[in-house]
Amino acid sequence: MIALINRRTSSILHSKHIISLKFITTYTSKDSSFTSVTSQNEDSGLYGFKILKSAKGFRRFVDEAIERSGELVSYISESPSDVEIIRAMDEISDTVCSVVDSAELCRNTHPDREYVEEANKATMRIHEYLHFLNTNHCLYNAVLKAEQGSLDTKEAQRAAHSLRVDFEKGGIHLPADKLERVNQLNIEIAQICRQFNENIINDPGFVDIFPASRIPKRIQHLLRPIYSASKEKGFRISTDQGTLSSVLQWVSDEEVRKQSYIRGNSTPRANLVLLDKLITARHDLAQILDHKTYAEFAVHQNLSSSPEVVKSFLVEMAELVRPKADKEFNKIRDFKRERSDYKNGVLEPWDEAYFTGMMKSSAYNLDSSAISAYFPLSQCIEGLKMLVQSIGATFYSVPLAPRESWHRDVLKMALHHPEEGDLGYIYLDLYSRKGKFPGCAHFAIKGARRISETEYQLPVVALVCNFKAPPGSSVARLDHWEVETLFHEFGHALHSLLSRTDYQHFSGTRVALDLAETPSHLFEYYAWDYRVLKTFAKHYSTGEVIPEKLVESMKGARKMFAATDLQRQVLYALIDQTLFGEQPSSSGDTMSVVWDLKRQYTSWNHVEGTHWHTRFNHLLNYGAGYYSYLYAKCFAATIWEEVCMEDPLSLTTGSSIRTKFLQHGGAEDPSVLLKNLAGDQILRYHSKGGILPDLTSLCKEMEL
């Protein structure tokens, strides 16, 4: 059951029909590890799990998950009713996911190496057990029986179908020799992905720059001082993604930008070979599973349904955005040539961030430090509370038990409804620290599900970011793009927290991949709307509300190169589809694929020898599915215009988003959810049978 750990696909409809669960009373867990984390417990451990009072608790966590799952497997083998089969399968999934998700969060955020190592071991052990579950014919046959039998709710029927499909994605229906090959390929793919990510972290590349004066003071704190043999001071630029972005935006010395760009986009070189291996392994896997390509295998259960539909959508978007993107390209090139040092200069990729930043500042007189002054982190958290109020709920702080937290900066909050009580819990781990997951992400800890007629397991999630306090301050002040990112991830978190599905298999973000990013893209709009910003964006020292004129200038700057940004996302999606699509008869290399697509769909130069895609880890997580970001962008644009724009913070708006969309997770057909929320016009139907987003709202917004 691949779905046991597939956190990208998820939940849906809250059925009013309550199912009687005989097996729940027969198999009552002896430990609170697998019950809902719903209240403060002085005796709890990490994430509220009693069993995780120490790092070694992960060992017992795995043991008990295997023991409990074994009981449920035995129960299923006794041929209970169809309803009870699906309930038992869902409890297995919940039990195993508790370990998988907790270990994943721990591995990425815990500052104690012992915890990280134990979480790593737990991950390996639980994945070995997952292999047993995913290849268990007793479970598969039980699911087949249930799917063809008498399930009395639409959600149960949908769960049975989804479980069967997930089993078959693992090849369980194939002859023994082919099943063994599928298992080998899945292990190989997992190992390649792990090594690919490790290479990104361990080999970020670097450039040494002398003298130190070539680096502006505003970013020197990001770099490591070095000294030459003659004692001259310089800086070592680590060309990891975050540092490289700052260098390309702020360094006026073109040679420094060029060296940094080339180095940063030429590492890790080892990932070129790994990516070739990944493409081959995924292609072989897809063909064994009776799909022409991995792209077909990856998307056939999504809204799009086929690579042909995806490709038609991406080409349509590329053609729509090209004229405006080319105008923006010409403006940047002309601006560069107006500078005294660049009279005949060619516009290069390392110029984009620097010159667009200058152009935005020149046009709108924007100062990033002046903007961030209105976004101290404490006020941004107030902004999250404001979003919650629009759905008729509140956040309140929950005291952390002695061993529940993993760092002193972590906050715990409960999402509370005045009539329904607590809806779920969220941990906020928002400050940067050494060894922590480098980006921003939403981690599930517990999915929502109905346990019995009277009990409901509340969702528990963590929102992880890496915000930094400026020198001399203990409070982070966010750049506006960081505020947008915070709201984006909070959209994912709300999707999980508001989920009210009967099955955790459908909880929260476990929806069709090309729907999953819609809530997060929708909540980005809130980060730009002055009616929202004025409720929380206040100057860290004076308390002054952010001026509307400043927000309008920020919006103007954002629009200046919006077509270029969109074109880049279309290019990424086309690269993703092409790499995992039909394989060329002669062996090609991924560098030439990237070069050809960039030349075909943009006006930007490709720098020979560079291979930025070797640290584009979305190729791993979203293989052949990166287009889903663009689907979500279109869906969100329509929802904003049709549902939110008139009054984004009204209870009517918030209630619609919650009751028609977020609370259903993956338990309802995605197209039904979208149409119920925003009307039939949000979708288009392709002649090949797949579904496309309507582009009208996005085109209007971007003036395409």
Question: Which positions are catalytic?
Answer: 489
**CA–CA separation, 50 and 57 (whole Å):** 9
**CA–CA separation, 389 and 53 (whole Å):** 34
**CA–CA separation, 490 and 523 (whole Å):** 8
**CA–CA separation, 201 and 222 (whole Å):** 17
Residue-wise DSSP of 143-194: HHHHHHS---SHHHHHHHHHHHHHHHHTTTTS-HHHHHHHHHHHHHHHHHHH
State how far Cα 570 lies from the chain centre.
Answer: 18
Six-digit token pair at 365? Answer: 């007189």
Q: Which contiguous run of DSSP H or E holds residue 458?
A: none
The distance between the two most distant Cα atoms of the chain, rounded to a whole number of Å, is 82
How far are the Cα atoms of 298, 410, 534 from residue 465, in angstroms, in the given order?
A: 29, 11, 23
**Residues whose CB falls within 8 Å of the CB of residue 455, separated by 6 or more in sequence, listed in order:** 36
**CA–CA separation, 361 and 185 (whole Å):** 51
Six-digit token pair at 80? Answer: 């209970």
**CA–CA separation, 503 and 89 (whole Å):** 10
Six-digit token pair at 341? Answer: 């040092």
How far are the Cα atoms of 115, 565, 633, 635, 650 from residue 529, in angstroms, in the given order?
A: 41, 20, 17, 18, 13
Q: Which contiguous run of DSSP H or E holds residue 385?
A: helix 377-389
212 HSE (CA, 13 A, CB side): 17
As a three-state string, the secondary structure of 22-70 is HHHHHCCCCCHHHCCCCCCCCCCCHHHCCCCCCCCHHHHHHHHHHHHHH
Closest CA to 500 of 677, 675, 668: 668
List residues bridging with 429 in a β-sheet.
Answer: 464
Q: Are 693 and 184 in contact (CB under 8 A)?
A: no
State how far Cα 348 lies from the chain centre.
Answer: 30
How far are the Cα atoms of 47, 50, 64, 220, 449 from residue 32, in angstroms, in the given order?
A: 13, 7, 11, 50, 16
CB burial of residue 499 (10 Å; 0-12, 13-18, 19+): buried
What interhelical angle do 307-338 and 628-639 show, nearest 10? 80
Q: Are 350 and 258 in contact (CB under 8 A)?
A: yes
How far are the Cα atoms of 27, 125, 238, 690 from residue 195, in angstroms, in the given order?
A: 40, 18, 20, 35
Closest CA to 511 of 162, 2, 105, 165: 162
State how far Cα 17 lies from the chain centre.
Answer: 32
Residue recorded with tokens 């169809």: 82
**CA–CA separation, 696 and 690 (whole Å):** 19
